[in-house]
Amino acid sequence: MWNQHSYHAEGRPGSLIIVPTPIGNLEDMTFRAIQQLKEADLIACEDTRQTKKLCNHFDIPTPLVSYHEHNKMKSGEKLLGQLQNGDTIALVSDAGMPGISDPGYELVKQCVENQIPVIPLPGANAALPSLVSSGLPTDHFYFYGFLPRDKKTRKEELDYLASVRDTVILYESPHRIKETLKDLAVVFGADRKVSINRELTKKYEEIIRGNLEELRQWSEKEQIRGEFCLIIEGTGEIAQETDQWWLMLSIVEHIDHYINEENMSSKAAIKQVAVDRGLPKREVYQMYHVQ
């Protein structure tokens, strides 16, 4: 057991500081975030050119180093060594919260495993402002991020998400939004409510609300620009006891049923069993694989 006291660790040599950056409007940068970037020995960022613009705007002289999806293993090992040698490193992404549909998780995991303090700063991200402005339930929600590109895996994930009881949050790029809305209308049902946010916090910020079929039609007529955050209505349903055909099955038998009878992959079957039984996916995974 290792108990990190974040308040005392902040600014201490050998700390990783997670710093959110604006997703559009530079005024969303916090005073604390600017100060931490100035005091750090190094800023690890996705695109040094993008972060350089931010640093120039706020007069931040700290050196930059590249840390992105394609070099995160090699760069992460080097950053870990610098942290172990006492450097304070600020981790940023191009926009928003590092680690949320952006690089960062692996480096944070390495720091935790090596008992290096990880200090998270609150700040800008796209998911929560989109959620709270959607008009859909906010008491419980399921953040998914970007859908996979592989068609088979994508279909499996959509089938799973369509059964989620709570509000679902997706990210999507402008060149894939039409295809995604079409798929969602088919798998989730045309009447499922959805709110789309694009260009959030920017000059041409827009929120479009309706059902999936209405927004599918909108996407066919609209000139698509900007990154999107989709907030989709959940089923709002809890399985009734009469629908719990699996009650006499063990979790392993339940998963095997979906694999053998429904031709699901083991990953999709585990997710579906977790939904059926109202259990954490990780718990179902462990029960299935640790036998």
DSSP assignment string, 70-119: TTHHHHHHHHHHHHHTT--EEE--SSB-TTSSSS-HHHHHHHHHTT--EE
Of the candidates 86, 266, 227, which has an alpha carbon nearest to the alpha carbon of residue 146?
Answer: 227
3-state SS, residue 122:
coil
Q: What is the mean pLDDT of residues 201-222?
A: 92
Domain ranges of the chain: 6-120, 127-232, 241-289
pLDDT of residue 23: 94
Could you report the per-residue pLDDT of 113-140, keeping only the tens digit for each? 999 999 999 999 999 999 999 999 999 9
Q: Which residues contact 23 (CB under 8 A, 6 or more apart)?
A: 95, 96, 124, 125, 126, 200, 201
pLDDT of residue 237: 65
Could you report the per-residue pLDDT of 223-265, keeping only the tens digit for each? 888 889 999 999 986 544 446 788 778 888 898 888 887 888 8
Please check the confidence at residue 6 and state whether its pLDDT lies above 90.
no
For helices 281-289 and 251-261, angle between their N-to-C axes, nearest 10 degrees: 90
How do 16-18 and 118-120 pair as beta strands? parallel
Q: CA-CA distance, 111 to 121, in Å (whole number)?
A: 16
Please check the confidence at residue 9 and state whether its pLDDT lies above 60.
no
Q: CA-CA distance, 138 to 76, in Å (whole number)?
A: 35
Q: Which residues contact 58 (CB under 8 A, 6 or more apart)?
A: 29, 34, 37
CATH code of the region 6-120: 3.40.1010.10
pLDDT of residue 267: 87
Both tokens of 268, joined, read 């999709």
Q: Ramachandran region of residue 224, left (φ > 0), alpha (ψ -120 to 50) or beta?
A: beta
Q: What is the DSSP string of 158-214?
A: HHHHHT-SSEEEEEE-TTTHHHHHHHHHHHH-TT-EEEEEESTTSTT-EEEEEEHHH
- pTM > 0.95: yes or no: no
Please check the confidence at residue 12 and state whether its pLDDT lies above 80.
no
3-state helix, strand, coil in the chain (%, to 5): 40, 15, 40
Q: How many CB atoms lie within 10 A of CB 250?
A: 11
Contact 22, 201 (CB under 8 A): yes
Could you report the per-residue pLDDT of 73-100, keeping only the tens digit for each? 888 899 999 999 999 999 999 999 999 9
Q: Which residues contact 170 (CB under 8 A, 6 or more apart)?
A: 144, 145, 146, 147, 180, 229, 230, 232
Q: CA-CA distance, 134 to 195, in Å (whole number)?
A: 5
Contact 182, 216 (CB under 8 A): yes
pLDDT of residue 7: 46
| Structural fold of domain 127-232 | 3.30.950
How do 141-146 and 167-172 pair as beta strands? parallel
The alpha carbon of residue 20 and the mean position of all alpha carbons in its chain are separated, in whole angstroms, by 14
